[in-house]
């Protein structure tokens, strides 16, 4: 780039002398402009080149002005200066370079540079729905036109802004999102009860939950020996919402108040008793058969009668074992029923049916 401008300047000085214009002042301005350009002081160089052009409106100066504008990112103005240089009758070599520069600048005009200033740091940044990364993000080249910039922190907390990007220019959009400041205070009738907010453990009661989004939140308090109590709390931005969980009505049920357990116990006892009777009758019949066989009396029962009586005893014994097993199972089930009843609570648990509208469903156990 430096050599290109030196070449333009070399063409510029004899042209100024030949045309008899205020060549000395224009040449001095052009030299100063080149020094500023070479040092990266593009605004200063632009101002000096424009002053030189006012003294001597030559295509070499207009072309140098276009280069300054390009470095400054002002592509649209650079294109205007390059086209002006082409109209000022440049030499064949300079004209070729100007034509190439115009084609390049026209291509650059199809896109623009977008600078996104997003806060807070670490927030997710999306451009037209596509993720760019987390703030801060680097500037991006995009097609000219309208673009949607979204900054998202957590959950549904996001802010969106539409920005117009002009071709060949730098557009800056600032999207700031304040961190949520809602607070929730949860108290419970039992100290150290576990508190959950929106399914996440928030500590033990009494608990203070910070940085909540405004709107409804599901609060669950787990009390020892009782069913969880769930309520919906409406949190306001910048304010503290207090919720106090009341002690559930009634205490834990006594184990002996389980009607289901007593029903099973009754069935179990009846089964055990019936089974015992059947086994006793079977044993008695078998003893009688054994005694008759030992006596071998001609006046006693026949062999067929004894065989039938023995078979009947076997059937009663089988039935006795089955009924006894069922009675034992029912007895064990009754014990489980009593144990379950001892852990259950007579409270009402509030289960939210639609958290978004703060409604709840009451279910009594």
The domain limits of the chain are 2-108, 111-176, 182-250, 255-343
pLDDT recorded at residue 148: 94
pLDDT recorded at residue 297: 66
Q: Is the pLDDT of residue 55 over 80?
A: yes
pLDDT recorded at residue 363: 36
pLDDT recorded at residue 365: 38
pTM of the model: 0.42
pLDDT recorded at residue 353: 36
Q: What is the pLDDT of residues 285-318, one digit of tens each?
A: 888 878 877 776 666 677 787 788 888 888 888 9
Mean predicted confidence (pLDDT) in 75-80: 91
Percent of the chain with pLDDT over 90: 26
Q: What is the pLDDT of residues 267-290, one digit of tens each?
A: 878 888 888 898 888 888 888 878
Per CATH, domain 182-250 is 3.30.200.20? no
Confidence band for 234, pLDDT divided at 50, 70 and 90: confident
Query: Same topology for domains 2-108 and 182-250, yes or no?
Result: no
CATH of 111-176, picked from 3.30.230.10, 2.60.40.1120, 3.60.40.10, 3.30.465.10, is 2.60.40.1120
Q: What is the pLDDT of residues 122-164, one digit of tens each?
A: 888 999 999 999 989 999 999 989 999 999 876 557 888 899 9
pLDDT recorded at residue 208: 87
Q: What is the pLDDT of residues 168-196, one digit of tens each?
A: 888 899 888 766 677 888 888 777 888 99
Q: Where is average pLDDT lowest: 16-25, 48-57, 95-104, 150-159?
A: 16-25
Per CATH, domain 2-108 is 2.120.10.30? no
Q: What is the pLDDT of residues 313-333, one digit of tens each?
A: 888 889 888 988 888 888 888
Structure tokens at 190: 């039992």
């Amino acid at each position: 780039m430096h050599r290109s401008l030196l070449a333009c300047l070399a063409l510029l000085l004899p042209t100024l002398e030949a045309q008899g214009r205020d060549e000395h002042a224009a040449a001095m301005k052009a030299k100063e402009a080149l020094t500023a350009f070479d040092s990266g002081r593009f605004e200063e160089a632009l101002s000096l080149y424009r002053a030189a052009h006012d003294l001597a409106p030559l295509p070499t100066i207009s072309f140098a002005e276009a280069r300054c504008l390009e470095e400054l990112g002002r592509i649209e103005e650079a294109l205007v200066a390059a086209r002006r240089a082409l109209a000022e009758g440049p030499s064949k070599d300079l004209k070729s370079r100007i034509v190439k520069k115009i084609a390049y600048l026209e291509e650059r005009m199809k896109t623009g540079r977008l600078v996104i200033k997003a806060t807070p740091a670490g927030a997710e940044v999306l451009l037209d729905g596509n993720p760019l990364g987390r703030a801060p993000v680097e500037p991006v080249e995009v097609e000219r036109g309208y673009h949607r910039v979204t900054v998202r922190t957590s959950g549904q907390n996001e802010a969106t802004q539409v920005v117009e990007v002009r071709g060949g220019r730098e557009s800056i959009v600032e999207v700031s999102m304040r961190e949520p400041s809602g607070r929730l205070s949860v108290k419970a009738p039992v100290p150290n009860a576990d508190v959950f907010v929106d399914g996440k453990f928030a500590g033990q009661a009494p608990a203070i939950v910070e940085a909540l989004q405004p709107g409804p939140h599901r609060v669950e308090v787990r009390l020892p020996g009782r069913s969880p109590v769930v309520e919906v709390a409406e949190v306001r931005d910048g304010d503290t919402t207090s919720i106090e969980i009341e002690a559930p009505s009634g205490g834990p049920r006594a184990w002996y108040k389980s009607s289901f357990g007593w029903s099973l116990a009754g069935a179990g006892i009846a089964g055990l008793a019936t089974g015992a009777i059947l086994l006793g009758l079977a044993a008695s019949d078998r003893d009688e058969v054994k005694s008759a066989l030992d006596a071998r009396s001609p006046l006693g029962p026949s062999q067929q009668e004894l065989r039938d009586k023995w078979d009947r005893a076997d059937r009663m014994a089988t039935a006795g074992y089955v009924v006894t097993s069922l009675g034992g199972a029912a007895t064990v089930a009754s014990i489980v029923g009593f144990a379950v009843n001892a852990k259950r609570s007579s409270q009402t648990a509030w289960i939210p049916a639609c958290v978004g509208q703060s409604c709840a469903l009451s279910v009594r156990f």
